[in-house]
Chains A and B, each alone.
Chain A
Amino acid sequence: MSDTNAKITEEIRAKARELLSSGEIAAFLGFTSGSLPMTTRPFVAKRPGDADKLIWNSFCVMNLANYLPALLESLEPPRGPKDPPPAGPLPKVGVVATGCCSRNIVVQMQERQVDRSRLVILGVSSRGMVDRKKVMAAAEGREPLKVEEGGHTLKVSGRDYELEIDRWSAVRDNCLTCAHNNPVISDYLIGPVSNRDVKDRFAQIEAIEAMPANARWKWFTDEIASCIRCYACRNACPLCYCPTCFVDDSRPQWVGKSTEPADTALFHILRAFHCAGRCTDCGACESACPMGIKMRLFTRKLSKDAFNLFGAEAGLDPQAQPPLATYRPDDPEEFLIVEEKK
């Protein structure tokens, strides 16, 4: 583990222990190590002693905001559907948040899914999380048994090989084009502040836009061809909190249950469209995908359009309205068919 990560881990543990033992928070949401190399799990610490299980490294790819609404609700005293909300302050939750995770918390605040006064946010600047699949590809099919993080390198070792790769070459695609590494809201800041800057944040999308329509259709169908419709991307997404998802609707059944190409295409189109103007490009969907589908490019295109057409960027201002919940009289409408009065 690199020095920075060790230091951040120590600080997160100390803060979580302090907040839990003082009784300020009832639970702390962070990461703990997973069972395989290069994996981490979301972890809820409820006792000060649990704080030692928290960790911080370059493999914290899941978005913790995803677990917040349910965790907050689970801490409320039980009540019936018609009972009034309990009087007095409700238990608080501490959470570790990088740039994208904090932006997702802001989106949840805009959409009234979480109450800011019940959160204690430990902001951590993201150095860019590492894509497991990229490291696996660099190991050329050999199983990595141990991955050690240096300052700018990753030491991968397996049964009969050892490999040192440049950390930045294995960083996730969304982190490579991230413009908000630093948390937008936090109560405490932990670790060094990042001053990384990106120029072409939408370069990946522009490359696809430049292709002819048939090539784009081929790219889209090839990309989703391997989809097994496990909905891991939806489940990992902090934007997806509808009690009944459109994929589970049966009357009308918007999306069939099969892996028939049209059903899969519709699932991916609608899933991405539901994230339009709300997606913070945290990359949790791609990291969760067992088939390596780059579905982030779909949501990224919508983020690009929301930014260019409506000047909206998700999760920066808790007071702002989500772009699709509002309008301006002069919104672009060149795409409309207009017939002049004769």
Chain B
Amino acid sequence: MEDKNLQSGTNLAASPTANWEPRIVAFLCNWCSYAGADLAGVSRFQYPPNIRIIRVPCSGRVSANMILDALKAGADGVLVSGCHPGDCHYISGNLHARRRFGLLKNFLEFLGIEPGRINFSWVSASEGEQFSEVVKKVTGRVKALGPTRRLVKEIRID
């Protein structure tokens, strides 16, 4: 799979062709959203196959570095999902993260990054159907935006 190349310095930005499909990196917290995604699968809720899931211990683990690194490597979109407020396995990881994400999202939009590129949501372990809805919504947003260009590191071999 190409996904394992989703690392610094590897440009995966797709060319805008007719059958272009976005690649979306999803950071899911181990305790809620990852289990929610699992439930969506077990319950056979359909969702677009555009997301590449990275399991993290907590949404509070996701730093701006990781989100930007995904964009730099050519991800067309990023989704970060964690437990609902009050449900965090580590008590307040998601609440700390919420402040960071709010600032980061505003800041990237301020600099001209399209609003739909980075997305955040809360999905609990019992919300399989909601997870599939979130993924549908995010994929729709990113598809509407088209392939990512900004912040992508282009490696030119001249």
Contacts and interface: CB of A to CB of B under 8 A. Distances in A.
B68 to A, nearest CB: 6
B152 A252 contact: no
B122 interface: yes
Contacts of A67: none
A214 B114 CA distance: 9
Interface in A194-225: 205, 208-209, 213-220
Contacts of A219: 112
A337 B108 contact: no
A335 B9 contact: no
Most buried by B among A209, A306, A333, A337: A337
A216 B8 contact: no
Contacts of B153: 256, 260, 262-263
A253 interface: yes
A140 interface: no
Most buried by A among B69, B107, B122, B138: B107
A256 B8 contact: yes
B89 interface: no
B103 A276 contact: yes
Nearest to A265: B151
Most buried by B among A220, A253, A266, A338: A266
Interface of A: 205, 208-209, 213-220, 246, 252-254, 256, 260, 262-263, 265-266, 269-270, 272-273, 276-277, 298, 301-302, 305-306, 309-310, 323-327, 329, 331-333, 335-342
Nearest to B114: A213
Given A269-B107, A331-B99, A246 B65 contact: yes
Contact of A254 (B8, B85, B101, B133): B8
A262 B65 contact: no
11 contacts: A219-B112, A269-B111, A302-B107, A305-B106, A324-B96, A324-B100, A324-B103, A336-B122, A337-B121, A338-B121, A339-B137
B3 interface: no
Most buried by A among B69, B100, B103, B138: B103
B103 A336 contact: no
B112 A213 contact: yes
B7 A335 contact: no
A339 B138 CA distance: 12
A269 B68 contact: yes
Contacts of A332: 102
A332 B114 CA distance: 21
B98 interface: yes
B92 interface: yes
Contacts of B101: 335
A270 B99 contact: no
Interface in B74-108: 85-86, 92, 95-96, 98-108
Contacts of A306: 103
B54 interface: no
A323 B99 contact: yes
Contact of B102 (A213, A309, A338): A309
